[in-house]
Structures are given as C-alpha cells and as structure tokens.
C-alpha cells in the first residue's frame, strides 16, 4: 500500500529530469529503438538492461546528442534534445563505454581542458578539478600521463570528467565493464554518493548485481523495446518465484528429477549440467528429491535475483 | 539531416585552444626540423640545381630567389595537410577525442572549424619561422640578391594562415571520407605531391604548352605560390586575383567536410 501511494504521489511531487515519449531511432536499414517511453526523476538512478543490440547504447546516445532521434520525443530537464542540443549537453555528464580521455593531456589537464568546452570560468574549473580528483581518489595522480593509469583509474577519471560541469544528469554506458571487483565497488560507492547529492543517473549495464545494487528503477530492453520496467525487487516478485534450487548431476538423473518436483515448482530450466527449479518452497523441493532417493552431486538454494528475471525475459540463447 | 549547420566561433575556439595547449608543451621539438627543411631545399635545389640554370635566372630572379617564396607556400600546404589528415584521423578514430568533445556544448561543426583554424595557425607558425630563415639567409649569403626583399613580406604569415585553412579543408574532406589511415598514401601521392611539383615553385608553369597552365590555374597551391612570391619581392595588382581565388575556393569547400564529419560523429 505504501508503494502505491508513493507511486501515485511521484509524478506530481518529483521533478522529472528525463522524459521519453514514443522515442524512436532508425538507421538506413535497421530500427534500433522502436518507440520507448520512460520518465526518470531527479535524484534517481535508472538502469537500462538488455542483451547486446537491444537499443540501450542508442538510447543513451540520443540523450547526450551523439544520435538524433528519428521519432517521438526526448526531453532533458524539460528541453527537447533536437532543438536545444547545446543547452542539453551543457546540463549532462557522459561516461562513455570506451575510454576517450585525451591522452595528449595529463590527468588533471583532462579536467581543465574539458571544463573549457563548457565555457566555465578558469577559477571554477580549477577548483572543481581539485575537488573531483579528490572525489575519485586520484589527487596524487594529477600530473600523471593518462596512459599510465590502470583501467579502474581511467574509469574514475572519466567519471570525474563527466562531473566537471556539475551536471543535472549523468549518463553512464557500462560504467564498470572490465574492472576488477575492488575497482567496481569503488565506482559503485561513488555513483551512490552522486545520487545522494541529488544527481540523476542513467546507466546501462550487463551486470545484474550492479543494477540491483545501484538502480532505484530499471527497464529491460530487447529488440529496441522495453519488455519490462520497475524497481529491481518488484521485477523479481513480478516475474519469477522467490527462490531457486540448483541441482547438478549427470543428464540422465536430471531428466528424472524434473517430473518429481513438478507440483512444487513454478518452472524449471536446464542449463548445461544443472537443473534450476523456480519455487516458493525450496525446502520442500530438496526434501522431495532426498525422499525419492535420487543422488545429485550438488544442491544449492538461493534467492531469486534480477539475473533470473533477465534470463527468463530475454532467453538463454547467445545474442551477438 | 539536410539542414546546413554553421559552426559557433566560441566552440571552434575551444577546439583550437585544446590543440594550442598541447602544442605549447612541445613546440620547440616540433618546430626544429622545420628550420632545417628550407636549408635542405635551398642547398640542394637553389645552390645545386640553380648552378646549372643559365645566367639571368628565372623571370629576372636568381634560381634561389625564384624558389624560396614558393617553398613558403608548399611548407604551409604540408603543415596543414599533415594536421588535417593523420592528426585529425587519430583524434577521430583512434583517440576518439572528438566523441568526447561533441558530448559537451561544443558541436561537431565547431570541432571541424576549430581544426581548420588550428591547421592554419600551425601553417602560419611554421611559415613565419621559415620566412625568418629565408630573410636571414638572404642577408647572410647574397645581400645583392635578397631572398625576401619587400616589406610586403610581413603579410606572408597571415596569408599562410589562410593557405593553411584551405589545405586543411581539403585534407579534412579526404579524412571525412576514408575508413583506414593507410589510404592517405593516395592523398599524398595523387594530390599533395603533384601540387608540390606543378604549382610553379620550381619552374614557371606558364611556359608549358596549353592546357598545362590552364589546369594549374584551377589548383590551389599555384595561387598560394603566386601570392607568396609577389609579397616576397613586391606585389603586382594581379595578386588580388590569386587572393580572391583562394578565399572563394576555401569558402565554398569549407562547409562540405563540416557536414560529412558531423555525419561521422552524430548518427
């Protein structure tokens, strides 16, 4: 009931930073985004999930002006991206998927030169550059060459660079892809700090744990459309059973298992050498299997995650 | 997008400023070879080849006097061509510098205009150093036949800026069309080198049978050479036609690479 009132109150009380209505992007012989609607509120973190080619990056690009929508409407802080290109870009920060730091410039110079693109006064840029290097824990590396930074440091510098104009909206395309766990956690901490400072974040990711950790709400895209949208917990409740039991055994045994627990499960998945049983009562499932005297090599129960939702909705086959 | 987009001077300046910031760090190292280049040409061609050129030289000039100002123009062409080909390609495709810039209030069209101005600036800086060397060599080696003898020569650096912009427009046009950095061999072999050889730097192209001089008239370096030579030894009114040619050609062509590069940066 509580969530219902919150949702109802939402649109009136919260300012929307980003609004898309029937947003489309088509190229000569391919429709990348086929009419999506979304609204992201100030201080919120909104995630775009989906297999490769789902249209996530194209949607991001339309937000920061690297792609021009071919249909529908897209507004950033109330401004239409097609008619207020420069003004929109002035209000957003972008962390791209691939590093595009200026390697001819040192770490701090990257921030100083970037600040000039926004016409910020030199004093302001200098102060912010110091603060941001501090924020992303690179103060000691200000005079280093960019090429000497590790992958995680480069990503942090990209985040600092995206903040030089004190943006209302930060767009992050796969912010932790390729980073080691320590670096990922550090990036997550920084992104959480940003939402607590009332910045709006929009990100794409392939990591379901990342989405679950960071996003207040998220959408799952496939083939240029939204196939589901909501808070991570709500999506799990809506699409999958709360628990999963994984059995590992030889294929013949797995064949025998499925019929045994049919009435207790909401569905099963065969993934390689494992059988995944979606259920509300994992205790009962394991008891039943034990009772039947079937030997399995390995049993694991866990809570259902966003990954289960994702795989259920987008399928298990590989997308290129 | 069919609308023609004009660059904003402010955005173009920011891109120019980015390149200037980097150039300032290394300018001494970058410019040094540039001072040797005129010496090499003047020694090999001016003194070496020039010794075989009959008494009276070319059009009343010694051979060294004849080729020196033309080399100023070709030097600007080379400076701007390298900037708008290899350097621009690296920023576009390898460093992805432009992708980062166009996510700021600086637009794609500003990036291209800023690069034009920067290539022009670089051409003017190189040319000024080259001009200094020529002036000095003239005084030091042959005071009776100075290489640069007219006060009009003070206009050469701004002219080289415009010539640099012109060759930057051409180089950027080629860059906006290619996918692989290896294809520049076509541009340099089929465009830059023929211009260097047949624009009246080393011999008067007017003395060739028709239609060679007519063809030369339609090429850009020919006019740049005429302007530099006029300013070095004292101009005639005909030079205004060359100036007009350069301005019209540059102005007409400049918008095309802007639109093409925008298409590469913004989908």
pLDDT in tens, B226-249: 999 999 988 888 999 999 999 999
Cβ–Cβ under 8 Å, residues A254 and A292: no
| Residue A183 and residue A106 share a domain | yes
Q: What's the mean pLDDT in B172-182?
A: 96
Q: How far does the CA of residue B86 sit from the closest CA of chain A (Å)?
A: 15
Q: Is the pLDDT of residue A48 over 90?
A: yes
Rounded to 5°, the CA angle B221-B224-B227 comes to 155
| Residue A282 and residue A174 share a domain | no
Listed range (A233-247, B89-103, B140-154, B225-239) with the worst mean pLDDT: B140-154
Q: Does A61 contact chain B (CB < 8 Å)?
A: yes
Assigned domain for B42 exists: yes
| Residue A280 and residue A157 share a domain | no
Domain carrying residue B107: 9-265
Assigned domain for B205 exists: yes
Q: Is the pLDDT of residue B204 over 80?
A: yes
A98: nearest CA partner in chain B: B96
| A102–B1 C-beta distance less than 8 A | no
Q: Smallest Cβ distance to B103: which of A27, A94, A109?
A: A94
pLDDT at B104: 97
pLDDT in tens, A135-161: 999 999 999 999 999 999 999 999 999
Assigned domain for B1 exists: no
Question: Which chain B residues touch A125 with a CB distance below 8 Å?
Answer: none
Q: Is the pLDDT of residue A302 over 80?
A: yes
| Residue A150 and residue A20 share a domain | yes
Residues 6+ apart with CB under 8 A from B130: B34, B35, B37, B38, B71, B72, B75
pLDDT at A318: 66
Q: How far does the CA of residue A267 sit from the closest CA of chain B (Å)?
A: 43
Mean pLDDT of chain B: 92
Listed range (A34-38, A213-217, B204-208) with the worst mean pLDDT: B204-208
Burial of A43 (0-12, 13-18, 19+ CB in 10 A): middle
Assigned domain for A310 exists: no
Instruction: Please give the tally of structural domains in chain A.
Output: 2
pLDDT at B54: 67
| Residue A153 and residue A261 share a domain | no
Q: How far does the CA of residue B106 sit from the closest CA of chain A (Å)?
A: 6
Q: How far does the CA of residue A3 sit from the closest CA of chain B (Å)?
A: 37
Q: Smallest Cβ distance to B105: which of A90, A100, A105?
A: A90
Q: What is the ipTM of this complex?
A: 0.91
pLDDT at A1: 39
Assigned domain for B3 exists: no
pLDDT in tens, A198-207: 999 999 999 9
What is the C-alpha to C-alpha distance for residues B189 and B200, in angstroms, rounded to an integer? Answer: 18
Question: Which chain A residues touch B105 with a CB distance below 8 Å?
Answer: 86-87, 89-90, 117-119
Q: Is the pLDDT of residue A172 over 80?
A: yes
End residue of a domain, out of A172, A198, A230: A230
Classify the C-alpha dihedral A196-A202-A207-A208 as positive or negative: positive
Question: Which chain B residues touch A94 with a CB distance below 8 Å?
Answer: 103
Residue ranges of chain B whose CB lies within 8 Å of a chain A CB: 1, 8, 10-11, 14, 17-18, 21-22, 95-97, 99-107, 265-267
| Residue A150 and residue A197 share a domain | yes
Helices (H), B102-219: 108-141, 156-177, 184-187, 193-197, 212-217
Assigned domain for A311 exists: no
Classify the C-alpha dihedral B113-B114-B119-B123 as positive or negative: positive
Q: Which two tokens stand for residue A201?
A: 């974040």
Higher-pLDDT residue of B82 and A266 is: B82
| Residue A107 and residue A137 share a domain | yes
Mean pLDDT of chain A: 90
Helices and strands (H, E) in chain A, number of each type? 12, 14
pLDDT at A13: 65
* C-alpha separations of A67 from A26, A58, A169, A291 in Å: 10, 7, 17, 59
Assigned domain for A212 exists: yes
Assigned domain for A268 exists: yes
Cβ–Cβ under 8 Å, residues B47 and B38: no
Assigned domain for A35 exists: yes
Question: Which chain B residues touch A109 with a CB distance below 8 Å?
Answer: 21
Q: Is the pLDDT of residue B124 over 60?
A: yes
Assigned domain for A320 exists: no
Cβ–Cβ under 8 Å, residues A101 and A157: yes
Assigned domain for B4 exists: no
Q: Is the pLDDT of residue B117 over 80?
A: yes
A84: nearest CA partner in chain B: B105
| B101–A117 C-beta distance less than 8 A | yes
Q: Which residues pair with A244 in a beta bridge?
A: A278, A302
B12: nearest CA partner in chain A: A117
CATH number of the domain to which A18 belongs: 3.40.50.300
Assigned domain for A245 exists: yes
| A96–B103 C-beta distance less than 8 A | yes
| Residue A179 and residue A64 share a domain | yes
CATH number of the domain to which A283 belongs: 3.30.70.980
What is the C-alpha to C-alpha distance for residues B217 and B228, in angstroms, rounded to an integer? Answer: 16
| Residue A262 and residue A158 share a domain | no
| Residue A166 and residue A42 share a domain | yes
Q: What's the mean pLDDT in A35-52?
A: 95
Instruction: Please give the tally of structural domains in chain B.
Output: 1
End residue of a domain, out of A230, A262, A282: A230
Question: Which chain A residues touch B267 with a CB distance below 8 Å?
Answer: 27, 61, 66-68
| Residue A158 and residue A12 share a domain | yes
Task: Choose among A250, A298, A244, A233: nearest CA to A268.
Answer: A244
Question: Which chain B residues touch A116 with a CB distance below 8 Å?
Answer: 14, 17-18
Name, of A82-96, A255-269, B138-152, the range with top average pLDDT.
Answer: A82-96
Question: Which chain A residues touch B100 with a CB distance below 8 Å?
Answer: 96, 100-102, 114, 161
Q: What's the mean pLDDT in B83-106?
A: 96
Q: Where are the beta strands (DSSP E) in A127-242?
A: 169-173, 200-205, 217-222, 225-230
pLDDT at A6: 44
Residue A48 falls in which region: left (phi positive, over 0), alpha (psi -120 to 50) or beta = beta
End residue of a domain, out of A230, A258, A276: A230
Q: What's the mean pLDDT in B60-66?
A: 89
Helices (H), B83-155: 88-89, 97-101, 108-141
Q: Is the pLDDT of residue A7 over 60?
A: no
A109: nearest CA partner in chain B: B21
Domain carrying residue A253: 241-303
Assigned domain for A153 exists: yes
| Residue A197 and residue A274 share a domain | no
pLDDT tier for residue B2 given thresholds of 50, 70 and 90: low
pLDDT at B140: 85
Task: State the best of B26, B83, B105, B107 to mutate against chain A, taking most chain A CBs within 10 Å.
Answer: B105
| B1–A117 C-beta distance less than 8 A | no
A113: nearest CA partner in chain B: B18
Cα pseudo-dihedral A56, A57, A63, A68, rounded to 10: -110
Q: Does A145 contact chain B (CB < 8 Å)?
A: no
Q: Is the pLDDT of residue A320 over 70?
A: no
């Amino acid at each position: 009931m509580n969530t219902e009132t919150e949702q109802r109150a939402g649109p009136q009380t919260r300012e929307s930073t980003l609004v898309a209505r029937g947003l489309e992007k088509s190229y000569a012989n391919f429709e990348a985004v086929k009419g999506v609607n979304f609204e992201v509120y100030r201080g919120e973190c909104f995630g775009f999930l989906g297999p490769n080619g789902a249209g996530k990056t194209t949607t991001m690009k339309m937000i920061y002006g690297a792609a021009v929508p071919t249909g529908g409407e897209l507004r950033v802080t109330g401004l239409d991206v097609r008619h207020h290109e420069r003004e929109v870009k002035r209000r957003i920060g972008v962390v791209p998927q691939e590093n595009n730091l200026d390697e001819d410039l040192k770490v701090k110079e990257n921030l100083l030169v970037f600040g000039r693109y926004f016409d910020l006064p030199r004093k302001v840029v200098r102060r912010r550059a110091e603060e941001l290097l501090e924020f992303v824990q690179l103060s000691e590396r200000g005079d280093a060459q960019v090429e000497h930074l590790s992958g995680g440091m480069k990503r942090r510098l990209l985040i600092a660079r995206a903040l030089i104009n004190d943006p209302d909206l930060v767009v992050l395309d796969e912010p932790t892809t390729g980073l080691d766990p320590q670096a990922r956690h550090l990036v997550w901490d920084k992104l959480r700090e940003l939402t607590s400072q009332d910045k709006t974040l929009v990100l794409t990711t392939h990591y379901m744990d990342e989405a679950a950790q960071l996003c207040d709400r998220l959408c799952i895209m496939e083939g240029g459309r939204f196939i589901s949208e909501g808070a991570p917990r709500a999506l799990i409740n809506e699409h999958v059973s709360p628990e999963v039991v994984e059995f590992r055994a030889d294929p013949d045994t797995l064949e025998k298992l499925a019929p045994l627990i049919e009435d207790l499960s909401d569905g099963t998945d065969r993934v390689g050498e494992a059988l995944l049983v979606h259920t509300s009562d994992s205790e009962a499932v394991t008891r039943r299997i034990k009772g039947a005297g079937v030997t399995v090599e390995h049993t694991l129960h866990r809570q259902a995650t966003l990954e289960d939702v994702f795989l259920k909705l987008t399928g298990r086959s590989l997308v290129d | 997008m069919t609308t023609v987009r004009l660059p904003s001077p402010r955005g173009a300046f920011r891109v120019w400023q980015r390149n200037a910031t980097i150039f300032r760090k290394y300018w001494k190292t970058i410019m040094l070879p540039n001072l040797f280049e005129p010496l090499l040409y003047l020694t090999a061609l001016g003194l070496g080849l020039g010794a075989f050129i009959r008494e009276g030289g070319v059009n009343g000039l010694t051979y060294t006097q004849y080729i020196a100002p033309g080399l100023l123009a070709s030097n600007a062409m080379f400076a701007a061509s390298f900037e708008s080909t290899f350097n621009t390609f690296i920023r576009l495709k390898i460093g992805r510098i432009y992708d980062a810039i166009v996510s700021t209030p600086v637009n794609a069209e500003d990036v291209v205009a800023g690069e034009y101005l920067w290539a022009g600036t670089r051409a003017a800086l190189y040319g000024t150093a080259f001009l200094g060397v020529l002036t000095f060599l003239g005084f030091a080696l042959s005071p009776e036949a100075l290489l640069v003898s007219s006060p009009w020569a003070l206009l050469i650096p701004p002219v080289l800026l415009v010539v640099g912009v012109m060759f930057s427009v051409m180089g950027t046009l080629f860059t906006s069309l290619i996918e692989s950095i290896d294809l520049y061999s076509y541009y340099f072999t089929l465009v830059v080198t023929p211009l260097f050889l047949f624009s009246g730097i080393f011999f008067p192209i007017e003395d060739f049978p028709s239609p060679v001089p007519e063809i030369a008239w339609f090429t850009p370096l020919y006019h740049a050479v005429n302007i530099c030579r006029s300013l070095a030894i004292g101009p005639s009114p005909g030079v205004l036609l060359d100036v007009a040619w350069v301005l019209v050609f540059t102005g007409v062509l400049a918008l095309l690479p802007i639109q093409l590069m925008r298409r590469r940066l913004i989908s």
